[in-house]
Amino acid sequence: MKKKLKVFYFIFFLSFLPVPFSLFHASYAESFERIISLAPGMTEILFAAGMEDKIVGVTTFCDYPEEAKAKPRIGGMSNPSLEAVVSLKPDIVVMTTDGNPKVFQQRLGSMNIKTFIFKALTLSELPDGIRDMGIALGEKEKFDNLALKIERSTNRFKKTKKTGSTKVLFIIWPGPLIAAGPGTAIDDAINLLGGINIAGDAKSRYPKYSLEEIFHRSPDIIFIGKGHSNMKKISSSFLKRLSHVPAVRNEKVFYVSDSLYRLGPRVVDGIEELAGYLEEKNTEH
Amino acid sequence: MKLKLLIMVLIAFAIFTVALFIGPRVINPFSINEIEKEILISIRLPRIIVSVLMGMALGASGAVLQGILRNPLADPYILGISSGAALTAVVGIISGLAFWGTFTIPVLAFIGALITGVFVGAMGWKRGGFWPERLLLAGVGLGFLFSAVLMLIMSISSDQGLRRAILWIFGDLSLADWSVIPYGFVFITAGFVISLSRANALNALILGDELTHSLGFSPRKERFILFVSVGLMTAASVSLGGMIGFIGLLIPHIGRFIIGPDSKILIPVSALGGGILLCIADLIGKSLLSPMELPAGIITAIIGAPYFLYLLRRKDVLRI
Amino acid sequence: MFSGYKNTILEFERVGFSYNRDKPFIKDMSFSLGNGEFVGLLGANGSGKSTILKLASGILKTSDGNINIWGKHIQSYKNKDRAKLLSYLPQILDMQIPFTVKELVSMGMYPYDILPKLTVDEAIEMVGLTDNAESLITNLSAGERRRVYIAMTMVQGAGLVLLDEPLANLDIKYQIELLRLLKKLKEKRDIAVVMALHDINIALQFEKIMLIKEGEILCFGNPETVLTKDLLKKAFDVDVEIIRPSKSRNVGERQDYGEVYIKY
């Protein structure tokens, strides 16, 4: 009887052994099989680079592509849940300097969770940022291809760049009026296409813009981002007040997609969209 | 005293005129081109009118409220009216509601403010009258609740929505256009006229309910009428341009330092002072970092508070 | 000096009052006052002096019985009309608000749509504060502040002035000054004054004293009849000794202090 019990204990003890061993194994592996993205832009890059199956967690704001919505959520960009991140046992957490708190990286570091910080802020920095991510994730080839695709498309516009001086205003929200300012992908795209972003000299990336400055600087084209399904209705009375501005007078107000809101693979679509409207404008002259 | 008031009115008009022509860019009043004309008429003038209306409403309702609650710390926001307005307005801003175009946010804020006002009033009502302490505590309690719900909504909203909400909460006069002015004007003037017509009763209430009775007023009735006037003014003001701090709390005290506690003079002086301060604050807010605009509510406190503290050191009276 | 009989201006008819339903606080109280009377309400703490004044001023409503002023039920008056007839000054007056003397006295005009008979300047002169008319009340002495409020009631034109412990917390000098002032005003303007008191010696200065105990009138009459050893023992539950120097004079002519006093 006693001997039987001893054997039982031994087997019982043995049954626990594989658990610590497997934990040990995972934390030292360099193949990143479990990736968490802490920003919608990062999620889009990861998806575009074909990492879909390795993503185990995204933020509540990651809504593109459609498949991203099915991934487990770990909270917001500025307030991700440490507990949710840790419980998903990530091999690496992809973060951005634009929107994620630095302390969060330090907390993850103290728990021996690897992080990659995406540092690109402008359109020109984007391809290199993507390449860096590829190196860090050990998938150099996939990310290099994505970076190259983006570079090709932007270079195409660089070549066809016109020296025209079309004044452009990109409105994120009409009331309170928020415009796309310097340091945004939108500003980069406008400049790339040979336009002048009239909010490009503001002191903040998304400034609350002065209404009367719009009159003074009289933009030739106004883009309104479709950040909301109701955008046309929301901005209608606002546009009525701007009826003296050339863009409104000449009916050069265009509602465009939110492709440029995030520094990611979709900026290519966004640039092409703006380019279409800007070229139309230039050919008129 | 009348001379002082006249001088203040003149100063106010001088400032309003100056604010019309200077700004992010100075407009020469003697040579105005087409664009400048448009800017003056459809942007600057309505904005100045809205800032003055809001400032007047907040200054006057602060003076009234400190009297009826007999509390020097009372301001139009302590009754929770503004948090109620902020809650409904922010829900509208974040979710992008637009059922009445430009009116959407002001109407939502006004509805939120009125509902809160009625609710606080009901909580502060017992045995046929308002009880100052009950009103205050009901307002503070409700304010906390609304702020918490507001924070909840803001913390689960997208970053862009959050930005818009914050800009509105700190006071956003950029929405000002002619269409909202008539409504704001009607409610604010109504509240102002009511409170000024009850100035005697307010003076009596400051002395105490028993003396109010002795001087021929019903303290409960007067407190109710004055509360309604404050509710109208605050609701209209918050709906015109969000929450502007400082004015409602400290402008009445500055008024008392300068012209004394007599409500007949203090109410118009607080209104005028509030209008002047907000007009200047908005001028600075839109000019300082042009073309970017800073919320006027932050500027009012930054330029107003040091002056208040200076007066506090110099004068030895700080009572309602 | 008090010629003939007076009109009844304040009348309690079997008045009952209670703050909570179970315990009557004022019980079946009846009395009447005429114009020009100078009455002291005397009683221990909690005997009901303040409540009687608040009932008489209409701040509190009776549970039973009627209170009439100038022959009409007090609650039948409009607020403003009542304010022209009677004025009530609570025991605790907020003295911290920086109104000027003139501003405060002017508040006596509130019940009037036209200028009242007595002007603000006259009232300020009557209470002897002409030199301080523009001063802030916060800069005045306690006695002077009381006088400011008295001037306010004068402007109000009240024929009946109800004062709750106006002498409390005043130095003896100010107590005497205020009593003299009130007596002078009473003679000049034929007003009736009712004030709550707690000091028995001060009560000696009054023409009539109402001794209150537990919401009931123990005795209502001139000081000689009210201030007896037995009644005071009943009202205050202390033994007192009444000392009357031999050359005691007629009550009406009594000077301030010094003639009769009561030793506790």
How is B115-156 classified by DSSP, letter by letter?
HHHHHHHHHTEETTEE-HHHHHHHHHHHHHHHHHHHHHHHHH
Are B101 and A175 a contacting pair at CB < 8 A?
no
A90-131 tens-digit pLDDT: 999 999 988 888 888 888 888 888 999 998 888 889 999 999
Q: Could you tell me if A59 and A276 are in contact, meaning their C-beta atoms sit under 8 angstroms apart?
A: no
Q: Average pLDDT for residues A155-172, to the nearest whole number?
A: 78
Taking the C-alpha atoms of residue A92 and residue A33, their distance in angstroms, rounded to an integer, is 9
C114: confidence class by pLDDT, cuts 50, 70, 90:
confident
Q: Which residues, including other chains, have CB under 8 Å from residue B166's CB and lie 6 or more apart?
A: B154
Q: Which residues, including other chains, have CB under 8 Å from residue C146's CB and lie 6 or more apart?
A: C93, C166, C170, C174, C178
**Given the DSSP bridges, would you call strands A221-225 and B125-126 parallel, antiparallel or unpaired?**
unpaired
A–B CB contacts, 8 A cutoff, strictly below? 103
Of A176, A210, A237, the CB nearest to B101: A237
Taking the C-alpha atoms of residue B59 and residue B230, their distance in angstroms, rounded to an integer, is 10
A160: confidence class by pLDDT, cuts 50, 70, 90:
low
Are B213 and C88 a contacting pair at CB < 8 A?
yes
Q: For residue B109, which phi and psi values (nearest 5 degrees)?
A: -60, -40
pLDDT of residue C4: 44
Residue A37 has pLDDT above 60, yes or no: yes
Q: Which chains touch C (3 or more CB pairs under 8 A)?
A: B
Q: Average pLDDT for residues C80-99, to the nearest whole number?
A: 86
pLDDT of residue A193: 86
Residue C205 has pLDDT above 90, yes or no: no
Which one, of A265, A196, A191, A260, lies nearest residue A224 by Cα? A260
Stated length of chain A: 285
Are A209 and B293 a contacting pair at CB < 8 A?
yes
pLDDT of residue A164: 66
Taking the C-alpha atoms of residue A52 and residue A30, their distance in angstroms, rounded to an integer, is 18
Q: Taking CB atoms and an 8 Å cutoff, what residues of chain B touch C91?
A: none
Residue A22 has pLDDT above 60, yes or no: no
Q: At what angle do helices B263-287 and B181-197 cross, to 10 degrees?
A: 150
Tokens 């046929």 locate to B128
Q: Could you tell me if C264 and C233 are in contact, meaning their C-beta atoms sit under 8 angstroms apart?
A: no
Range name among B123-132, B142-151, C217-226 with the lowest pLDDT average: B123-132
Q: Taking CB atoms and an 8 Å cutoff, what residues of chain A touch B291?
A: 198-199, 201-202, 207, 209-210, 213, 217
Q: Taking CB atoms and an 8 Å cutoff, what residues of chain B touch C94?
A: 206-208
Token pair in block for residue B283: 């001028």
Q: Taking CB atoms and an 8 Å cutoff, what residues of chain A touch B102?
A: 175, 237-238
Q: Taking CB atoms and an 8 Å cutoff, what residues of chain C touch B319?
A: 96-98
Type of residue found at A91: D
Q: Which chains touch B (3 or more CB pairs under 8 A)?
A: A, C
Residue B163 has pLDDT above 80, yes or no: no
Taking the C-alpha atoms of residue C107 and residue C89, their distance in angstroms, rounded to an integer, is 13
Of C57, C97, C111, the CB nearest to B319: C97
- The radius of gyration of chain C's CA atoms, rounded to the nearest angstrom, is 18
pLDDT of residue C41: 93
Q: For residue A67, which phi and psi values (nearest 5 degrees)?
A: -60, -25
Residue B81 has pLDDT above 80, yes or no: yes
Of C103, C108, C110, the CB nearest to B262: C103
Are A212 and B156 a contacting pair at CB < 8 A?
no
Q: Average pLDDT for residues C223-227, to the nearest whole number?
A: 86
Q: Average pLDDT for residues A44-54, to the nearest whole number?
A: 91
Percent of chain A past pLDDT 70, that is, above it, reads: 84
Assess: ipTM above 0.90.
no
Q: Flag whether residue A248 sits within 8 Å of chain B, measured between CB atoms.
A: no
Q: Flag whether residue C84 sits within 8 Å of chain B, measured between CB atoms.
A: yes
Q: Taking CB atoms and an 8 Å cutoff, what residues of chain B touch C120?
A: none
Which one, of B249, B230, B240, B265, lies nearest residue B185 by Cα? B240
Percent of chain B past pLDDT 90, that is, above it, reads: 32
- Partners of A37 in the beta sheet? A94
Chain B closest-CA separation from residue A178 CA (Å): 8
Residue B90 has pLDDT above 50, yes or no: yes
* Burial class of residue B230 in the structure, from the number of CB atoms within 10 Å of its CB (0-12 exposed, 13-18 middle, 19+ buried): buried
Taking the C-alpha atoms of residue B106 and residue B186, their distance in angstroms, rounded to an integer, is 14
Of A172, A176, A212, the CB nearest to B39: A212
Residue A30 has pLDDT above 70, yes or no: no
A250-262 tens-digit pLDDT: 888 999 988 888 8
Edge-to-edge, what's the strand order for the sheet holding C208-213?
A: C86-89, C160-163, C192-197, C38-43, C208-213, C216-221
Q: Could you tell me if A216 and B39 are in contact, meaning their C-beta atoms sit under 8 angstroms apart?
A: yes
Q: Taking CB atoms and an 8 Å cutoff, what residues of chain C touch B254?
A: none
Type of residue found at C222: N
A192: confidence class by pLDDT, cuts 50, 70, 90:
confident
Tokens 């109710």 locate to B224
Interface test with B, best of C60, C84, C110 (most B CBs within 10 A): C110
Edge-to-edge, what's the strand order for the sheet holding A55-57?
A: A55-57, A35-37, A92-96, A114-118
Taking the C-alpha atoms of residue C100 and residue A43, their distance in angstroms, rounded to an integer, is 71
Are B160 and A207 a contacting pair at CB < 8 A?
no
Q: Taking CB atoms and an 8 Å cutoff, what residues of chain B touch C136?
A: 317
A121-153 tens-digit pLDDT: 888 899 999 999 998 888 888 899 999 999 888
Are C94 and B215 a contacting pair at CB < 8 A?
no
Percent of chain A past pLDDT 90, that is, above it, reads: 22
pLDDT of residue A12: 52
Interface test with B, best of A196, A211, A234 (most B CBs within 10 A): A211
C120-164 tens-digit pLDDT: 999 999 888 999 999 988 888 888 888 899 899 989 988 899 999
Tokens 């839109």 locate to B286
Are C89 and B216 a contacting pair at CB < 8 A?
no
Q: Flag whether residue B206 sits within 8 Å of chain C, measured between CB atoms.
A: yes
Name the helix (H) or strand (E) containing B28: none
Are A237 and B179 a contacting pair at CB < 8 A?
yes
Q: Could you tell me if A80 and A90 are in contact, meaning their C-beta atoms sit under 8 angstroms apart?
A: no
Residue C98 has pLDDT above 70, yes or no: yes
Name the helix (H) or strand (E) containing A115: strand A114-118
Q: Taking CB atoms and an 8 Å cutoff, what residues of chain A touch B152?
A: none
Type of residue found at C95: M
Alpha helices in chain A (DSSP H): 2-14, 18-27, 40-48, 82-87, 102-110, 126-137, 140-159, 185-192, 211-217, 231-241, 246-249, 267-284
Are B35 and A76 a contacting pair at CB < 8 A?
no
Are A233 and B98 a contacting pair at CB < 8 A?
yes
Interface test with A, best of B99, B108, B154, B160 (most A CBs within 10 A): B160
Residue C93 has pLDDT above 80, yes or no: no
Which one, of A254, A61, A229, lies nearest residue B97 by Cα? A229
Taking the C-alpha atoms of residue B312 and residue B296, their distance in angstroms, rounded to an integer, is 24
Range name among A28-42, B189-203, C73-87 with the lowest pLDDT average: A28-42
Q: Report the residue of chain B nearest C99, measured CA to CA.
A: B261
Are B261 and C98 a contacting pair at CB < 8 A?
yes
pLDDT of residue A283: 60
Q: Which residues, including other chains, have CB under 8 Å from residue B24's CB and lie 6 or more apart?
A: A210, A212, A213, A216, B286, B287, B290, B291
Buried b (16+ CB within 10 A) or exposed e, C22-40: eebbbbebeeebebbbbbb
Of A173, A210, A244, the CB nearest to B286: A210
Q: Flag whether residue C99 sits within 8 Å of chain B, measured between CB atoms.
A: yes
CA distances from B219 to B74, B207, B222, C195 (A): 19, 11, 5, 23
Q: Taking CB atoms and an 8 Å cutoff, what residues of chain B touch C110?
A: 200-201, 204, 215-217
Q: Flag whether residue B71 sits within 8 Å of chain C, measured between CB atoms.
A: no
Taking only residues 261 to 290 of chain B, the set having a beta carbon closer than 8 angstroms to any beta carbon of chain C reads 261-262
Q: Could you tell me if C45 and C211 are in contact, meaning their C-beta atoms sit under 8 angstroms apart?
A: no
C8-57 tens-digit pLDDT: 899 999 999 988 877 888 989 999 999 889 999 999 888 899 999 999 99
Are B160 and A241 a contacting pair at CB < 8 A?
no
Buried b (16+ CB within 10 A) or exposed e, A169-178: bbbbbbbbbb
Which one, of A244, A220, A242, lies nearest residue A166 by Cα? A220
C217: confidence class by pLDDT, cuts 50, 70, 90:
very high
| Global confidence as pTM | 0.81
Q: Taking CB atoms and an 8 Å cutoff, what residues of chain A touch B155?
A: 76, 79
Are C107 and B218 a contacting pair at CB < 8 A?
no
Buried b (16+ CB within 10 A) or exposed e, B100-110: eebbbbbbbbb
Taking the C-alpha atoms of residue C60 and residue C65, their distance in angstroms, rounded to an integer, is 13
Token pair in block for residue B157: 């909203």
Percent of chain C past pLDDT 90, that is, above it, reads: 39
Taking the C-alpha atoms of residue B231 and residue B61, their distance in angstroms, rounded to an integer, is 8
Chain B closest-CA separation from residue A233 CA (Å): 6
Are B208 and C100 a contacting pair at CB < 8 A?
no
